[in-house]
Amino acid sequence: MKCSVIYGDVFARHDMDLHAESSSRFRTVLGGVPAGLRWRDPVRASVADLERVHRPQHVRWIREISNGTRYLDANTYITPHSFDVASYAAGSACAAMERSLDGEHCFALVRPPGHHAEPDRAMGFCIFNNAGVAAAKALEAVDRVAIVDWDLHHGNGTQTIFYGSDRVLYCSVHEADAFPKTGWVDEIGSGPGRGYTLNAPLQPGATIADYLSIFKEVFIPAIIRFRPDVVIVSAGQDPLFDDRRGHMNLEPADFGVLTGLLIDATDLPLALVLEGGYGPSHGRAVSHIFRALRGDRAEPGDRPVRRSTQEVVGILKKVRFL
C-alpha cells in the first residue's frame, strides 16, 4: 500500500525557546522518516473546518491574540505565527485523512499538537484539535470514524468533542493520573455516544505487553465491531522509555507493533497525526511506524501483563455499544 508524509517548514514558526513543545522536536522526528517516501505539502484548514469542532468565539479569539508571544495557561504558549501554524496543523490532519480514504497510509508530522484542545479552550500545548477537525470533516463524507490515541496523556479535547456521538469511536490508552487527570474507565460517552468512548488508563511502568493486551482484547475487537470507514491515529510517542515527561516503558519498535496491529485488523489505510513525543528515541519510533506502514512487521518481546492492566481490560470488556 502507498505511504506518504505531510510536513513543511511552516511548523517551525510556532516556537518558543526552551519550551518542551518547540520546533527543535522535529530534528529528532524528521530523522525517522525513511528515504524514498512521498512528501506532501501542508494544507491549511479553513475557518469552517475549525468550526466543525471549535466554537467560533474560540477560533476568533486565537486569531486575535496571535499578535504577540504569551502564555495562554501554565504550559500553552502563542506567538504571532500560531494561528496560521495551528491552522496548517489541523488542515494537514484533514489531508492525511483524505489520503487514507484514497487508499494511502499518511502520517501528518504537524505541530502544535491537538488532542488536548477543547471546543472552547487551548491547553496542554494544543491550540486546535487536529485529529478532531479531521474526524469531523471525514463525517461529511463517511458514516463512521475511529480515533486511536496512544499518546502518553489522555486526549481530553478529542473525547469532549465526540462524547455524545455514535459516529466516532474514541479509544485512548494513556498513563493513569497524568495530565490532564481525565480518561478514566467509567468515561464511556453519553446519550447516543454511550459506549463509543473507551479509556484504558495504565499504571506507570507499562510495557508493550500491557499495550498489546489493551489493543488485542479491547480496542481492536471494538473497532472491528464498529466497522469504521477511516481510522485516525493520534500518534504521540511520549510513552517511550526515555521520554522524561512520563513513566512508561515502550521501546521504539513497539510503535511499529501497534501500527501493524491496527493495519492488519482493519485492513484500512491509516491517517496518523503527530501529537506528543519529546525523548531522544522519538525519531527511531517514527522510523518503526513507517516500517509498519510499508509492510514490515515486528515481534514484541515476551513480557508479562500486569494485574492492574488485566483489571482495566476486564472492566472495558463489559462496555458495549448501545
Q: Which residue has the cell 459506549?
A: 195
- Residue 296 region by backbone torsions, left for phi larger than 0, else alpha for psi between -120 and 50, else beta: beta
Share of the chain above pLDDT 70, in %: 100
Question: Buried b vs exposed e over 263-298: b needs ≥16 C-beta within 10 Å?
Answer: bebbebbbbbbbbbbbbebbbbbbbbbbbbbeeeeb
Residue 271 is part of a domain; what is its CATH number?
3.40.800.20
Decide if 322 is inside a domain: no
Mean pLDDT across the stretch 2-16?
A: 96
Joined grid coordinates for residue 163: 462524547
Does residue 190 come out as left (phi exceeding 0), alpha (psi in the -120 to 50 range) or beta? beta
113 is a domain residue: yes
pLDDT exceeds 90 at position 1: no
Question: For residue 129, is it within any domain?
Answer: yes
Q: Tell me the pLDDT tens digit for each residue of 145-198.
A: 999 999 999 999 999 999 999 999 999 999 999 999 999 999 999 999 999 999
- Please classify residue 78 by burial: count the beta carbons closer than 10 Å to its beta carbon, then call 0-12 exposed, 13-18 middle and 19+ buried: buried
Q: What confidence tier does 322 reach under pLDDT thresholds 50, 70, 90?
A: low
**Residues 153, 143: Cα–Cα separation, whole Å:** 28
Residue 122: inside a domain: yes
Question: Is the C-alpha dihedral spanning 203, 207, 209, 215 positive or negative?
Answer: positive
Give the whole-angstrom CA distance, residue 110 versus residue 219: 25
Side chain identity, residue 24: S
Look up cell 493513569; give the residue: 176
Question: What's the whole-number mean pLDDT along residues 46-51?
Answer: 98
- Residue 217 clears pLDDT 60, i.e. is over it: yes
Number of structural domains (the chain) is 1
Residue 63 lies in a domain: yes
C-alpha cell at 295: 509492510
Model pLDDT for residues 197-213, shown as the tens digit of each residue: 999 999 999 999 999 99
102-121 pLDDT, tens digit per residue, is 999 999 999 999 999 999 99
Residue 299 confidence (pLDDT) above 90 = no
Q: With respect to residue 52, please indicate whether it lies within any of the assigned structural domains.
A: yes
Q: Is 321 domain-assigned?
A: no
- Residue whose entry in the numeric block shows the C-alpha cell 492492566: 309
Grid coordinates representing 77 are 504558549
Can you give the residue range of the structural domain that contains 180? 2-316
CB 277 within 8 A of CB 25: yes
Residue 39, burial from CB neighbour count under 10 angstroms (0-12, 13-18, 19+): exposed
Whether 208 is covered by a domain: the verdict is yes
- Tell me the C-alpha distance between 53 and 48, whole Å: 9
Q: Which residues are catalytic?
A: 116
pTM of the predicted protein model: 0.97
